[in-house]
Amino acid sequence: MNQVAPDTLSEHAGATSSETGREIILEVTDLKKYFPIKSGVLFQREVAAVKAVDGVSFKIFQGETLGLVGESGCGKSTTGRTILQLYRATSGSVKFRGQEITSLKGTSMRKMRREMQMVFQDPYASLNPRMSVGRIVGEPLVVHNIGTKKEREERVAELLKLVGLNPYFVNRYPHEFSGGQRQRIGLARSLALNPSFIVADEPISALDVSIQAQVVNLLEQLQDDLGLTYLFIAHDLSMVRHLCDRVAVMYLGKIVEIAESEELYTNPLHPYTQALLSAVPVPDPVVEEQRQRIILKGDVPSPINPPIGCNFNTRCPVAVDVCHEEDPKLEEVLPSHWVACHRVV
Amino acid sequence: MAVSETTNPNSQNVFMIIRKTLSRAVDMIGGTSMLIFLFRRILAAIPVLLAITLVTFVLSHLLPGGPFNAVGQRRMPEYLIQQLEEKFGLNKPLLVNTWNDGYFPDGDDWRIIGYRTEVHTEGGGARGDIHQVENEVLRIDLLDSQFFNYVWDALHLDFGPSLNVALRDQNVQVSEEISKRLPVSIQVGVFAVLLGFVIGIPLGVLAAVYHNTLIDYGAMFFAVMGQSVPNIVLGPILIIIFAVELGWVPVIDQQNQWREGPELSLYYLKILALPVLALGTGMSAGIARLTRASLLQVLHEDYVRTARAKGLRERVVIYVHALKNAMIPVATIVGPLLAAVLTGTFVVELIFTIPGLGKVFVDSVAARDYTMIMGVSLLYSIFLIAGNILVDIMYTWLDPRIRFD
Amino acid sequence: MAVAEGAEPISLEEESIHKSANPWADAWHMFRRNKASVISLITIIVIVFVAITATFWTKAGLIDARTGAKARHTINPVNQTAQDAYPDPGICARDGQGQNPYWCGWLDDESLAVVQDRYCFRAAPDVNQKQWCYVLGGDSQGKDWLSQTIYGAQVSLSVGFVGATMALLVGLVYGVISGYYGGRVDNIMMRIVDFMYGIPYLVLVILLQVFFTEIAREYQDSERGGFVGFVLDLNQDMGGLLFLFFALGVLSWIGMARLARGQVLSYREKEFVEAARAVGAKDRRIIFVHLLPNIMGPLIVAETQQIPGYIFTEAFLSFIGLGVQPGTPSWGAMISEVRTRGGFFSNRHILLVPSLALVITTLSFNFLGDGLRDALDPRLRGT
């Protein structure tokens, strides 16, 4: 594997001269998360590791929405969870407003958790079925010991109103709600602590299409009202285009391309991005007529044994010898447009 | 050389045949992964067995009194007890031998490991004069304890002589006694399991097919009843009804058939009937409930709905499509069921005075027959562990979706 | 703060009339629909009540095995004229003295003799001795079988409840620690459980009970103080139940530990647990607020279904003389008298009375377990 020194990466990845003026809220540098595979009759020892996230670097600016897209199993969810320290990073750094958070523990970690929250994918699994809506939404306040009981109740009502739910529902239980309503409850919970950064892990993919738009609009509305910053994880490319300022494409634990949303969709450079975008139907019949699907051959290789050289070389239609030898670096080939590919220079 | 040359092609042939047969056999039992799995499970069972040996050993020796304290109601004289204990090695320390005096009669020093001169007599009788032979033997004195001696012997499949007064005078070995009594328990147990399936499966199928009808309720009431009547109640009631009132079967085994070994005769079936009925009824209840639950679940699966949608007759749907899959969980309980029956025939054996393994165990505990206690407990443990392994194998065998990992 | 425009607040006012569906309230609602379970629950409550108030029903104690003191029994002597100067003629006395029950007139001479023989006892062969008559008969020592059965309920029920509670608590703590913390701790803890799975249950229980009964017997003759003496005294006062609890509990928790661990594993990775972690909840809160309420249902169901097993084991142990101490009334010990007192041929009440009590109790617990399963463990509903 071709490792890039973290310091050189942090100088480059994702940021350009034109953006230096904006405040960086989150900076991820060479983040890795390996899940050990253990085996043994009596005593377990590590025999291999799933390289779910394998050296990911990017920056997120205050108030923007960064989309993180890729096939299922490419490590995008793991990236989100590792950033939030739900998983302990194997290596690499995550800086939130300049502060390193991978090494935080105890009280300082809990303090940090008030700043960054998560919205989950499955609206059915993400709410405790034994807790009433009021307790679910108020839990962050209880955990952080904020306010009196009365104040907490008021805050919960306010939060429910904020996400478009009737505060009358506080004593109801999650199973009495629809998927969209449950996702709003989850959103209310994540907003309880007034966070500035939210990781949204495919928050709409489990919802009906008609409900998806509502939730996306709600997310946008909240961003405007509360000045939130989102890391929006998704596999639905059209929704990402609509919602995100910039988009990062992941493949097999690595970021292969980052660019401004419009730039990425009109001018994809990495062959994987091109293949992904070719699968998106275009609402314009003339363009749709000309759209040609790039069908990738083969399956995604196992993250336990990723290919030597470029991760994508087993399926890449334009791979050459160097792709099998050297891991390409993420480089800025156009302004604000970063690609990790030997063939794009 | 000549010999090897002539046999070479032949032996290669034989080798090929063996290899083919082996690989076919391996395929039959589920491929190499299954073999590796089996091997690992058996390997993992060894320390478990050792630990169980240790626990049972310590526990049985903790019981107050010893095997030689009394004959019947009479107490044995102290010197006789001592002599007997020395003969059977019960005077040695229990777990680790840290003695350095008193035990070694030849005055040798105690040492962890070293050579020791052992003297034993040879000759006498027709072989001439008696003379003494000296041998240098490598000994580990630390391990010269009752426990390690037992483990060492057991590894050589020598489980020692029974210490129970009724048996030790005839020098009966534990393995002999067990091999005589085990078949009795196995017969009762296996017939009971068979009866359990023969009653339980049809009952469960009926209940599932006629779900929420009177038949279902009746079958399930029988099942709950069967689980609620313990053997110590069912046994005597069966005796009163079938032996005392109806006189169909003898109350006790008057012809000593159990002891002499089974023989397929009407009489044998008669004395077998009640214990099997007592054991099998409770089991059939559990099997019926499991069958019903499993079949109900399968009947709601999509492929069964498809079979119905194709217009197949209900009978075909149930007996061809559903039952086969519904039997998976039922089949997997055969292992633990057999293990439970074999290790749990105590009750029935005591009620019906059957001289099986359970009876032997209870007697041996009362007599402080350490070797017999150990022998029976170890056998039971092996049954249990084998039963557990069997479940896992059954699962993969019957449900190819499950893999060994 | 403004209400988001994109989504109109969803008002379900008309639906709100429906009462709050607390999951536990749901379960109770579900349970009540199962008639057999409700009847079983009532039966169990009655049995528990009778067992607790046993002394009231039997009016006096039983023969004290330790002191050998004469019993001041009895329950329901049909003829309550104990203070009469006349010797008690007993049940259905032929000479018409005493207050005979109304059905005496229905009996012919032969039946009358049987009734006299089986239900009426004299403390001594002397005909002038007072005679006791029992509704459900007695044994040859003059012990009333019904009062014995009522006292036996104390043993069976306490074995069932204590056994289940111990297994649930120990198994729960063990399984939750193992499943929640995972890794090496889990590995070692599960190896221990594997090891215990290989121990034959009855073998261990019998060995332990022989050990305990012998120790208790030895102790009777000697004075011993300190903690050991205290425990032995306590066991003595409980009629041997203390050690029996221990013997039954040594292995009973392992199944529960496995179940609890499996449940924790299935919930530990659920997103709502992750959500709690993301807001900074500590382990203690996650375990007590998020995991336990969700995993308790199946565990309680499993443990209720185990109760008949504990009752059976105690009955069996007492049946072979390794259960409660001799003289302590227990259904198993009572049934065992069927062998020594000719119960197979004539005195069948010896078998039938305790058997009936045993079967009714376990039947109730089995039905209760089914009802609880339907109510608390929806995955297994109707199985």
Q: Are residues A261 and A298 in the same domain?
A: yes
Contacts of C176 (CB under 8 A, 6+ apart): C260, C261, C264, C287, C291, C292, C295
Q: Are residues A193 and A265 in the same domain?
A: no
Q: Are residues A175 and A142 in the same domain?
A: yes
Check residue B326 and give its pLDDT.
80
Task: Give domain status of residue A249, yes or no.
Answer: no
Task: State how far the Cα of B360 lies from the Cα of A74, in Å rounded to an integer.
Answer: 63
Mutating which of A41, A44, A304 best tests the B interface, going by the most B Cβ atoms within 10 A? A41
Average pLDDT, chain A: 84
Is C23 within 8 Å of chain A by CB? yes
Would the CA dihedral through B377, B379, B384, B389 be positive or negative?
A: positive
Written as six digits, the tokens of B76 are 């044995």
Q: Are residues A225 and A261 in the same domain?
A: no
Type of residue numbered B178:
I
DSSP structure class, residue C379: G
Mutating which of A37, A38, A39, A42 best tests the B interface, going by the most B Cβ atoms within 10 A? A42
C8/chain A closest Cα distance in angstroms: 6
Q: Are residues A187 and A308 in the same domain?
A: no
Chain A hits for C191, CB-CB cut-off 8 Å, are 42
CB–CB of C27/C376 below 8 Å?
yes
Phi, psi (5° rounding) for residue A25?
-90, -35
Check residue B123 and give its pLDDT.
62
Phi, psi (5° rounding) for residue B231?
-60, -30
Task: Give domain status of residue A7, yes or no.
Answer: no
Task: State how far the Cα of A124 lies from the Cα of A78, in Å rounded to an integer.
Answer: 20
CB–CB of A223/A43 below 8 Å?
no
Task: Give domain status of residue A9, yes or no.
Answer: no
Strand bridging mode A229-234 / A246-251: unpaired
Check residue C347 and give its pLDDT.
65
Task: State how far the Cα of B382 lies from the Cα of B360, in Å rounded to an integer.
Answer: 17
Split chain B (405 residues) into runs of 10 and give each run's mean pLDDT. Answer: 46 72 66 75 84 88 78 71 75 70 55 67 64 72 77 81 71 82 85 91 89 88 88 87 83 68 74 88 88 84 77 75 78 77 78 84 85 88 84 70 47
Runs of H (alpha helix) within chain A: 6-12, 76-83, 106-113, 133-143, 149-162, 179-191, 209-226, 237-243, 261-266, 271-278, 285-290
Mutating which of C5, C10, C26 best tests the A interface, going by the most A Cβ atoms within 10 A? C10
Task: State how far the Cα of B95 lies from the Cα of B402, in Å rounded to an integer.
Answer: 43
Q: Count the Cβ atoms, other than its own, within 10 Å of residue C92.
A: 23
Q: Are residues A263 and A174 in the same domain?
A: no
* pTM (two decimals): 0.80
Task: Give domain status of residue A199, yes or no.
Answer: yes
Is A40 within 8 Å of chain B by CB? no
Check residue B241 and give its pLDDT.
87
Q: Which among C4, C271, C294 is the nearest to A120, CB-wise?
A: C271
| In chain C, residues 244-273 whose CB comes closer than 8 Å to chain A | 270-272
Q: Are residues A174 and A304 in the same domain?
A: no
Mutating which of B53, B54, B56, B228 best tests the C interface, going by the most C Cβ atoms within 10 A? B228
Task: State how far the Cα of A84 lies from the Cα of A82, in Å rounded to an integer.
Answer: 5
Chain A hits for C10, CB-CB cut-off 8 Å, are 164-166, 181
Contacts of B223 (CB under 8 A, 6+ apart): B203, B207, B284, B285, B286, B288, B289
- DSSP, residue by residue, B336-400: HHHHHHHH-THHHHHHTT--SHHHHHHHHHHTT-HHHHHHHHHHHHHHHHHHHHHHHHHHHHH-T
For residue C349, give the H/E element and its range: helix C349-376
Among chain B, residues having any CB pair with chain A shorter than 8 Å are: 40, 43-44, 47
Q: Which among A125, A140, A181 is the nearest to C279, CB-wise?
A: A140
Is C278 within 8 Å of chain A by CB? yes
pLDDT per position as a tens digit, C252-295: 898 899 889 988 988 888 889 999 988 888 889 999 999 998 88
- Neighbour subunits, C (≥3 Cβ pairs < 8 A): A, B
Among chain C, residues having any CB pair with chain B shorter than 8 Å are: 194-195, 197-204, 206-208, 210-211, 214-215, 218, 308, 312, 315-316, 319-320, 332, 335-336, 338, 343-345, 348, 351, 355, 358-359, 362-363, 366-367, 370, 380, 382-383
Written as six digits, the tokens of B203 are 């009952």
Q: ipTM of this predicted complex?
A: 0.83
> Which of A205-214, C72-81, C190-199 has the lowest average pLDDT?
C72-81
Chain B hits for C195, CB-CB cut-off 8 Å, are 47-48, 51-52
Domain count across chain A? 2
Chain A hits for B40, CB-CB cut-off 8 Å, are 41
Nearest CA in chain A to C12: A166
Check residue C58 and give its pLDDT.
60
- Give the rounded percent of residues in chain A with a pLDDT score beyond 70: 92
User: Closest by alpha carbon to C40, among C351, C373, C333, C330?
Assistant: C373
Question: Reduced to 3 states, what is the DSSP secondary structure of residue A58?
Answer: strand
Cβ contact, residue pair A42, B40, below 8 Å: no
Check residue C77 and give its pLDDT.
35
- Inter-chain CB pairs, A–B, below 8 Å: 5
Of B392 and A127, more confident: A127
B2-5: Cβ within 8 A, 24+ apart: none
Type of residue numbered A193:
L
Q: Are residues A239 and A262 in the same domain?
A: no
Chain C hits for A169, CB-CB cut-off 8 Å, are 12
- Average pLDDT for A309-319: 84
Check residue C14 and give its pLDDT.
40
Average pLDDT, chain C: 73
Task: Give domain status of residue A338, yes or no.
Answer: yes
| Burial class for B346, CB neighbours closer than 10 Å (0-12, 13-18, 19+) | buried
CA A63 to chain centre: 15
List, in sequence order, every residue forming a beta bridge with B119; answer none if it has no partner.
B134
Of B315 and C99, more confident: B315
Nearest CA in chain B to C210: B63
Task: Give domain status of residue A12, yes or no.
Answer: no
Domains of chain C: 69-133 (no CATH), 145-380 (1.10.3720.10)
- Neighbour subunits, B (≥3 Cβ pairs < 8 A): A, C
Is A41 within 8 Å of chain B by CB? yes
Is C127 within 8 Å of chain A by CB? no
Nearest CA in chain A to B36: A41
A47/chain B closest Cα distance in angstroms: 13
Q: Examine the pLDDT at C15 and tell me if it is beyond 60.
A: no
Domain end position, chosen among A195, A216, A244 = A244
Q: Are residues A62 and A133 in the same domain?
A: yes
Mutating which of B59, B233, B374, B388 best tests the C interface, going by the most C Cβ atoms within 10 A? B233
Q: Examine the pLDDT at C159 and tell me if it is beyond 60.
A: yes
Q: Are residues A41 and A178 in the same domain?
A: yes
Is A345 within 8 Å of chain B by CB? no
What is the Cβ-side half-sphere exposure of residue B375, based on CA atoms within 13 angstroms? 28
Q: Examine the pLDDT at A321 and tell me if it is beyond 70.
A: yes
For residue A230, give the H/E element and its range: strand A229-234
Contacts of A29 (CB under 8 A, 6+ apart): A6, A9, A10, A13, A57, A92, A93, A94, A95
Would the CA dihedral through B103, B107, B109, B115 be positive or negative?
A: negative
Strand bridging mode A116-119 / A197-201: parallel
User: Closest by alpha carbon to A231, among A221, A242, A244?
Assistant: A244
Q: How confident is the model at residue A199 (pLDDT cuts 50, 70, 90)?
A: very high
Mutating which of A105, A116, A117, A139 best tests the C interface, going by the most C Cβ atoms within 10 A? A139
Contacts of A34 (CB under 8 A, 6+ apart): A49, A50, A51, A52, A54, A90
pLDDT per position as a tens digit, A82-113: 998 888 888 889 998 888 888 888 888 888 88
Cβ contact, residue pair C4, A218, below 8 Å: yes
Chain C hits for B233, CB-CB cut-off 8 Å, are 335, 351, 355, 358-359
Assign residue B256 a region (left: φ > 0; alpha: ψ between -120 and 50; beta: otherwise). Answer: left
- Neighbour subunits, A (≥3 Cβ pairs < 8 A): B, C
Task: State how far the Cα of B396 lies from the Cα of B402, in Å rounded to an integer.
Answer: 5
Written as six digits, the tokens of C148 are 């014995």
Domain end position, chosen among A190, A210, A244 = A244
Task: Give domain status of residue A265, yes or no.
Answer: yes
- Average pLDDT for A158-175: 88
Written as six digits, the tokens of A4 are 């890039």
Domain end position, chosen among A183, A215, A244 = A244
Chain B hits for C197, CB-CB cut-off 8 Å, are 384-385, 388
Check residue C97 and give its pLDDT.
45
Cβ contact, residue pair A41, B43, below 8 Å: yes
- Average pLDDT for C205-226: 79
Task: State how far the Cα of B386 lies from the Cα of B141, in Å rounded to an integer.
Answer: 35
**B261-283 core/surface letters (b: 16 or more CB in 10 A; e: else):** eeeeeeebebbbbbbbbbbbbbb
Task: Give domain status of residue A2, yes or no.
Answer: no
CB–CB of B306/B337 below 8 Å?
no
Q: Which among A113, A129, A169 is the nearest to C279, CB-wise?
A: A113
**What range does the domain containing A274 cover?**
256-345
Task: State how far the Cα of B11 lies from the Cα of B19, in Å rounded to an integer.
Answer: 12
Q: Which among C23, C184, C274 is the nearest to A86, CB-wise?
A: C274
pLDDT per position as a tens digit, C19-65: 556 777 778 887 888 888 899 999 999 999 988 887 766 654 333 32
Q: Are residues A135 and A233 in the same domain?
A: yes
pLDDT per position as a tens digit, A137-165: 999 999 998 888 999 999 999 999 988 88
Q: Examine the pLDDT at A2 and tell me if it is beyond 50.
A: no
Check residue B399 and give its pLDDT.
62
B266/chain C closest Cα distance in angstroms: 24
Written as six digits, the tokens of C146 are 């019904």
Q: Are residues A217 and A330 in the same domain?
A: no
Cβ contact, residue pair A168, C272, below 8 Å: no
Is C223 within 8 Å of chain A by CB? no
- Average pLDDT for A247-254: 90
Chain B hits for C358, CB-CB cut-off 8 Å, are 230, 233
Q: Which among B63, B65, B230 is the nearest to C358, CB-wise?
A: B230
Is C12 within 8 Å of chain A by CB? yes
- DSSP, residue by residue, B294-344: HHHHHHTSHHHHHHHHTT--HHHIIIIIIHHHHHHHHHHTHHHHHHHHHH-
Strand bridging mode B74-75 / B114-122: unpaired
CATH number at residue A238: 3.40.50.300
